Amino acid sequence: MKLALKRAGIINHAGCHTFRHCFATHMLENSINIRVVQHLMGHADVKTAEIYTHVMEKNISAIVSPLDSLMDSPHYPSAKSSTDSTVADMDIPHS
């Protein structure tokens, strides 16, 4: 454990459960379905896996619209021009 911490450049105290928690959180941040995380972590109930969501990075400007990825698909090569905007380009009013 100490060698793994040293190789990772982690200077804070950490244990096996820290790595487990980080592993699950990173999977969720990378859009892995929470049911898959639940299974991989060995949780019987999805509510237990939901504890990893409270520390996820929540950067709304990084969200990509499924329509943007559809437009970038090889099946629609001419559907998107360089003047088209993405979700990040939209001026969304804040309440």
* Chain segment 28-70, per-residue pLDDT in tens: 888 889 999 999 999 999 999 988 887 776 766 666 666 776 6
Q: Is the pLDDT of residue 80 over 50?
A: no
CA–CA distance, 86 with 72 (Å, rounded to integer): 11
pTM > 0.75: yes or no: no
Q: How many residues are there in the chain? A: 95
Q: Is the pLDDT of residue 74 over 80?
A: no
Mean confidence (pLDDT) of the chain = 76
Delimit the domains of the chain by residue range. Answer: 14-87
CA–CA distance, 52 with 65 (Å, rounded to integer): 24
